[in-house]
Amino acid sequence: MNKPKKVCIILRPTIKDEFKTVVLHLLRWFSKRNVTVCFSLVDKDKIKKYFPQMSFKDNDFCFPHKIADCDFLISLGGDGTLIGLCRQVKTKTPIFGVNWGRLGFITEFNAQSMYENLSKVLNDDYTLVKKPLYNVKILHNEKIIFKERFINDVVISRHDISRLFHLKVECESESLLQLAGDGLIISTPIGSTAYSLAAGGPVVHPDVEAMLMTPICPHGLLHRPIVVPNQFKIKVSLAPQERPVVLTVDGQVYHDIETGYQVIISRNKNENVYFIANEEKTYFHTLKEKFVHNLRS
């Protein structure tokens, strides 16, 4: 790989004074190394509002357009910022995830180690890890009315009054569950430490090729989390006469589900995301740090 010439920074939703200082230092740091910095197009108004002392041109905001022109992307926020970025990236452009949130479980780097590891990236001294993306789509009368990619999880639950409802779950065209409860989480291994874990699901190493189905407060003694191969296709539908529920994707995108709709979840065979790895920590180290010792940012 040639020396990086251009990077794109994706910012967390909220910008406070301390975070503004970090962004300004980062811009100056890259400038000294002759690396061009651009930002996400959705951050355009935010950037011009919080950094009025700097002049930004329209071509400073290229993402998601011309993303292939960038050598790598910097996710500067929490896990949510990184997860949202993963759904948008449709190239093999590597992602350098910096935790500026609370938990920071899937972001590889922290603020203290950011510049040291960015220097390694500029010197072509880094390792890439590939992680799979998954698809969820909603069908009605055999027509796709909603489609989204995800890396963490999809959740089917009530969005108004808290009341159990009934779901039918099929796996590989075979009836698997007639579930009554507060909902269902379908998680990737990366997402196994998120909502699924809080609902009683297992921790699954991200290298395991699987999907998890974790019932939320099931009204049945034998309804327990199930792990299936990620080449399987999962189909979920509401029982007849049920009130509408909501499908939430990665905790960030949602769509209503009604009786007669079918939700289909599957591994996206052709699309992956590529993370720049932090070689100084392992998955189990992070697991202990964040969940056993409860060391959150």
- Active site amino acids: 79
Residue holding tokens 């200082």? 21
| Phi-psi sector, 45: left (phi>0), alpha (psi -120 to 50), beta | alpha
For the chain, the first-to-last Cα distance in angstroms comes to 33
C-alpha–C-alpha distance, residues 56 and 38, integer Å: 9
Backbone angles phi, psi at 249, to 5 degrees: -110, 120
Quote the strand ranges of the chain, DSSP E: 6-11, 36-40, 61-63, 72-77, 95-99, 109-110, 128-140, 143-150, 153-157, 165-171, 174-181, 183-187, 210-216, 226-229, 234-238, 245-249, 253-257, 261-276
Q: Are 180 and 245 in contact (CB under 8 A)?
A: no
Nearest to 78 by CA among 56, 107, 53: 107
Read off the amino acid at residue 53.
Q
> What are the beta bridge partners of residue 36?
6
C-alpha–C-alpha distance, residues 244 and 258, integer Å: 5
Give the dihedral of Cα atoms 82, 102, 253, 228; nearest 10 deg: 80
> What are the beta bridge partners of residue 176?
none
